[in-house]
Amino acid sequence: MTDTQSYGSLTVEEHTYKLPTHIRPDRYQLRFTPDLTAFTFVGEETVDIQVLEPTTDVVANAAELQIHSVAVVTYNGQTIPGRVTLDEINERAILTFPEMLSAGPYQLQLTFSGMLNDKLHGFYRSTYKDANGQDKMLASTQFESTDARRAFPCWDEPAHKAVFQTTLVIPEHLTALSNTAIVHETPLPGTGTKEVVFADTIKMSTYLVAFIVGEFAATDPVYIGQTPLRVWAVPGKRHLAQFAREVGAASLRFFTEYYHYPYPGDKLDLVAIPDFAAGAMENLGAITFRETALLVDEKSAARSDLERVANVVSHENAHMWFGDLVTMRWWNGLWLNEAFATFMATLAVDHYKPDWQRWTSFAVSRASAMVVDGLHSTRPIEFPVQRPEEAAGMFDVLTYQKGAAVLRMLEQYLGAETFRAGIALYLKRHEFANTETTDLWDAIEEASHQPARALMDSWVFQPGYPLLSVRTEGNDVIISQHVFRYLPDGSDLERLWQVPIFLRASTTQGEHSQTTLLTGKEVRLQLPSQPDWVVVNAGGHGFYRVQYSPELHECLTANLHDTLSAVERFNLVNDTWAAAQAGLTPMTTYLDLLSLFRDETDPNVWNVILASGQYLYHLLDAQQRPALQTFLRNLLTPIVQKLGWSPQDGEQELISQLRGELLSALGTLGGDTFIQAEARARYVQHTQHPETVDRNVVPALVSILASSGGAAEYEEFTTNFKTAKTPQEETRYLFALAAFQPADLFERTLRLTINSEVRTQNAPYLMRLLLLNTEQRERAWAFLTANWDEMGRQYPDNSIVRMCEGILSLVTPALEAEVVDFFASHPVKQGTKTMQQHLEKLRIAVAGKARDAANIERYLKQGQGRWHDAQ
Ligand SMILES: [Zn+2]
């Protein structure tokens, strides 16, 4: 699986998906004239190419383009016209010339035209209403993975790096942005247009080219060294750009120091686009974002909204070096790009706001990857990608979150400074070039003198992760590993990982810490004396689960909040929950464990507890759910009462966020009618005097009113969604519409998903939430199946499989059978692997229902009484 071959010469099989290598593009000059009223564009292109082997055919990528003329100019100025054949299936243009082009330099000249499409890829259009309610249009690009070819004929593979010089001809009143600074902007007299000429880029891949045309307003620049950074939004939203400007500057400064390498572009623009399929895109010098990921009102936004912006901006900035300056050779290396940017963003945000404890909240991301990676249908982080379309399926939790988690594990094992030195060496050595994953391990091994490759290969090329079993014998701690699966079937028992063990123990001689590498099945560690308790995975950086012997478990939980850090408590709950889902531990043991967390104040620990409560709510039958709600109310009420509705003086922001999340859970999942009534009163207060309700509590009011509300609240939230003043408010009210229970209101929200009132960037996620509405899930499922084709026509391809995650609420054998049946004949366009994972997760829940539901019911009926007594 170690795919480290050179792609200089292609095997026969590779010819079907990779361009032939006898032509090398060096520099593109691009000129576009978009028409924002007819949704079209015309383009001209001159490419400096090197013919490496004599040929009559030049083969490049092109899709949904009409090519009107083609010619090559020889080094002595002779023009040779050619003809074009389009290979639509393989998205190629074959340019054929009447005579053999001998090896050497040529200029290739093309004219072409295309559509500004509405599918949010290639060169596409985006619409919005201005401050006067007028419809406005802008045009933007999104080229990763393989959509540059929809805007101009090109060698659309990451290894074909070249220099790009772009010119845009646009109406005089509009703004044009691209990867580099503007060299000059010249009116074209008598046409009402102007020509905007941009500087040459660095040598880079086609998927990083960007150009954007529309009405835009920018913040003042902030300078990081010589680099001006600006944030751009459509007019009327510039005042929401200050936070992104601040965090953009902070992270760019941080990365310049961390990478020990100056920013590789000549300026940096962060641009909010009203319609955007992903979260953001790291085009060098012109990063594009969906509005919720960039524009935010610092005064009214919840802390989590600010953190989202900080994460996404930092992630994209990290790519300017890792991804843009140094790029994967082929799409199999995509994981390293994304894993690294995710890792670096966490590092940068942790540096920017230490109070947010970003590495503790990263535990939630790590845990989400461990869910998928505990499935049979998981995959290794890196695997051979052949057809580039397969790359589209790699933008998932294994690439981003597992990838980042194993990088963090390596960093902690080697030491942060050693790891950083390896990264700096890697970037310097491969600047402007392409790499394989192995090149990174080479650099890290050189910097660290540690066997990084062997360690990482076991995590990167093998699917899954181990469960570590821990026991003691006298002074010895014995740790053994075996594969963790939710549906254990006895396979792959021989699979081993190189596991960095971070051990902390309490002994009679004080606290003892030790780091070691478990390479075999089992290791025996000798401690100075017999331990009272041991923590394996101290600090929580390991990508594995831990199961302690019953005696150790008891010692560890006896004094939980003194012994364990927040992330270690998170792991204890999370690992026990996973063991219960897998049937390795009784579900009642897990529910018992929760009683120890009634005073918990870490939001991440509560995150896993509340997610498990939601999971059980889907799993139980309607008549079993009230007992679960009582259980949850008993669990939540003491801490909610302690925190109250308003921040206390000097309170940490994380506590404010926790208050909001617990109130929301108690009023929705817990069904607490007192909290619901109070939320209604406070919502009214908020509408009259917004400053009287804490910004972290507002999302809770909205979710509680939606899940317990009727027609009046529905109308109000619909209006709020349409007139929202910030992108976060807009999505908050929109997504709240999925939580209403009355059937007629639910039907109205269902219709919203396909009637064009909701942007296609949001509609699939609204549909996902509708499916997750337990009471109405069958209605939502019927709607999805009836409108599947229409959704496929309207929504961005990448969103369909994400929408389908909503099937995880359909936890009955009959519904599961319907779901399996439906997807057997209705495959998703992108993300086949992810779809298999959704189905396996549903299988696990349905199996868990058969195994545990009656026990849980019995426990809740008894346990609830005992809990009541304890209060
Ligand atoms: Zn990324």
Å from CA of 338 to ligand 1 middle? 5
Closest Cα to residue 746, out of 786, 776, 721? 776
Alpha carbon distance 99, 109 (integer Å):
16
- The three state secondary structure string of 311-326 is HHHHHHHHHCCECCCE
pLDDT at 870 over 50: no
pLDDT surpasses 80 at 10: no
pLDDT digits (tens, 9 = 90+) for 216-264: 999 999 999 999 999 999 999 999 999 999 999 999 999 999 999 999 9
- Residue range 647-674: average pLDDT? 97
Amino acid at 303: R
Q: What is the 3-state secondary structure (H, E, C) of 621-643?
A: CHHHHHHHHHHHHHHHHHHHHHH
Task: Tell me the C-alpha distance between 137 and 375, whole Å.
Answer: 44
Decide: helix, strand or coil at residue 238.
helix
Say how many Å lie between the CA of residue 518 and the centre of ligand 1: 32
Among positive and negative, which fits the CA dihedral 171, 173, 179, 182? positive
What secondary structure letter does DSSP report for 772? T
Angle between helical axes of 334-352 and 403-414 (0-180°, round to 10): 60
pLDDT digits (tens, 9 = 90+) for 100-158: 999 999 999 999 999 999 999 999 999 999 888 899 999 999 999 999 999 999 999 99
Comparing C-alpha atoms, which of 255, 265, 266 is closest to residue 424? 255
Phi, psi at residue 708, to the nearest 5°?
-115, 10
> Is residue 9 scored above 60 in pLDDT?
no
Rounded mean pLDDT, 325-346: 96
Rounded to the nearest whole angstrom, what is the distance from the C-alpha of residue 315 to the centroid of ligand 1? 6
Provide the 3-class DSSP secondary structure of residue 63: coil
Residue 167, Ramachandran bin (φ over 0: left; ψ between -120 and 50: alpha; else beta): beta
**pLDDT at 76 > cutoff 80:** yes
Instruction: Judge whether residue 443 has pLDDT over 60.
Output: yes
Cα of 163 to ligand 1 centre, how many Å?
Answer: 22
Looking at the predicted structure, is the pLDDT value of residue 12 above 90?
Answer: no
- Is the pLDDT score of 387 beyond 90? no
Contact 762, 791 (CB under 8 A): no
- Ligand 1 centroid to 807 CA: how many Å? 27
Q: How much distance in Å is there from the Cα of 520 to the middle of ligand 1?
A: 34
User: What's the 316 CA to ligand 1 centre distance in angstroms?
Assistant: 6
What does pLDDT average to over the chain? 95
Percentage of residues in the chain with pLDDT exceeding 90? 93
Is 232:291 a contact under the CB 8 Å cutoff?
no
316 is catalytic: yes
Strand order in the sheet with 182-188: 79-81, 65-73, 104-115, 40-51, 23-35, 163-171, 193-198, 182-188
CA of 514 to the centre of ligand 1 (A): 34
Given the structure tokens 């057809």, which residue do they identify?
387
Is residue 441 classed as helix, strand or coil in its secondary structure?
A: helix
What is the token pair recorded at 697? Answer: 């509590």
CA distance 683 to 386: 53
Q: What is the pLDDT of residues 166-225, one digit of tens each?
A: 999 999 999 999 999 999 999 999 999 999 999 999 999 999 999 999 999 999 999 999
Q: Which two tokens stand for residue 235?
A: 């007019």
The per-residue pLDDT for range 794-833, each reduced to its tens digit, is 999 989 999 999 999 999 999 999 999 999 999 998 899 9
Choice among 91, 307, 316, 382 that is catalytic: 316
- State the distance from the centre of ligand 1 to the C-alpha of 282, rounded, in angstroms: 7
Of 440, 339, 461, nearest to 396 by C-alpha is 339
pLDDT tens, position by position, 473-504: 999 999 999 999 999 888 888 999 999 999 99
Are 97 and 53 contacting, i.e. CB atoms less than 8 angstroms apart? no
Q: What is the pLDDT of residue 14?
A: 62
